[in-house]
């Protein structure tokens, strides 16, 4: 990824309304003992994706994740899904994320709930993963690749790190109808989401990289409902967001996220969940 784009994505998540301080404040307000925190407590507030632990469980089921598997979570953020998979299934999970502040927060939260023996986090770029070839049985990711301009590279890297017969299961934002030029520019500049693909292009990318598609699901209707509620939730964090990042940042974030949700409501953006298996002997595209 270009350095300017990387910097924008990092800044986006460095100043995200859902952050480690906010999570810990919510836990403390509920009366949880932060010195003796459990994953069953933490999971109520650390799932920074669409749908909470229920969709993590669904993705794990689609991927067939088992205790013996080595799992990679690409663009793992603060590590909520990685921790939940390790806690519920007992598998070993590595999270990879571009934003160092998210990686460091993920490590701290993981130590708090005693899962650092099963879960680790790596700071790195999903288009050039600092990870060995054929190192993972399963690769998962949730609503993150919209921020990656070079989507062929991230799919190629996922195929590379999978063992033959391994499974990739991911969700992402997809294009459902053409965007106006000003919408494309705003999505790229404010959400740091250039070049959102139609679902059909994602499925073609998987096939070109030796990944046989097992299933694909349209999540657009469910995500539109979730995002409307999510916008209301972010607005409910106004006071803490302003206190941490300032009024101007809150106002800009609110306008940007309202625009993003509006594209879903207009039927221009939607959601995809896809599952694919790396064929034995298949080599990723070059």
Q: What is the DSSP letter of 62?
A: H
- pLDDT tens, position by position, 117-175: 999 999 999 999 999 999 999 999 999 999 999 999 999 999 999 999 999 999 999 99
Structural domains in the chain?
A: 3-175+194-217+272-278 (3.40.50.150)
Q: One of 22, 54, 104, 143 is an active-site residue; which one?
A: 143
Identify the pLDDT of residue 283.
54
**CA 121 centroid distance within chain:** 14
- pLDDT tens, position by position, 218-254: 999 999 999 999 899 889 989 989 998 999 999 999 9
Helices (H) and strands (E) in the chain, counts: 12, 7
Average pLDDT, the chain: 95
> What is the residue whose two structure tokens read 């520019």?
185
Residues 6+ apart with CB under 8 A from 126: 74, 75, 96, 98, 141, 144, 145, 148, 154, 157
Q: What is the pTM of this model?
A: 0.94
> What is the residue whose two structure tokens read 């939607």?
270
Could you tell me which residues are beta bridge partners of residue 170? 141, 274
pLDDT-derived band at 281 (thresholds 50, 70, 90) equals: low
Is residue 282 scored above 70 in pLDDT?
no
- Does the active-site annotation cover 217? no
* Residue 26 to residue 17: CA distance in whole angstroms: 13
């Amino acid at each position: 990824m270009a350095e300017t784009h990387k910097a924008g994505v990092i800044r986006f998540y460095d100043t995200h309304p859902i952050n480690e301080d906010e999570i810990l404040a919510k836990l403390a307000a509920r009366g949880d003992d932060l010195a003796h925190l459990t994953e069953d407590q933490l999971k109520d507030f650390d799932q920074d994706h669409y749908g909470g632990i229920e969709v993590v469980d669904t993705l794990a089921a689609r991927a067939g994740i088992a205790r013996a598997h080595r799992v990679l979570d690409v663009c793992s953020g603060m590590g909520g899904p990685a921790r939940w998979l390790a806690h519920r299934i007992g598998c070993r999970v590595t999270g990879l994320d571009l934003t160092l502040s998210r990686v460091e927060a993920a490590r701290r939260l993981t130590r708090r709930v005693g899962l650092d023996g099963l879960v680790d986090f790596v700071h790195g770029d999903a288009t050039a993963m600092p990870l060995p070839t054929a190192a993972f049985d399963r690769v998962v990711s949730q609503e993150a690749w919209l921020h990656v301009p070079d989507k062929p590279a991230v799919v190629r890297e996922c195929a590379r790190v999978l063992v033959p017969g391994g499974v990739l299961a991911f969700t992402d934002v997809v294009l459902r109808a053409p965007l106006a030029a000003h919408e494309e520019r705003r999505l790229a500049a404010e959400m740091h989401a250039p070049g959102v693909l139609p679902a059909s292009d994602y499925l073609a990318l998987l096939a070109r990289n030796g990944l046989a598609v097992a299933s694909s699901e349209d999540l657009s209707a469910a995500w539109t409902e979730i995002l409307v509620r999510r916008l209301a939730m972010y607005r409910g964090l106004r006071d803490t967001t302003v206190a941490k990042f300032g009024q101007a940042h809150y106002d800009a974030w609110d306008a940007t996220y309202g625009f993003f949700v509006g594209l879903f409501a207009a039927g221009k953006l939607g959601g995809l969940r896809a599952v694919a298996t790396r064929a034995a002997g298949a080599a990723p595209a070059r």
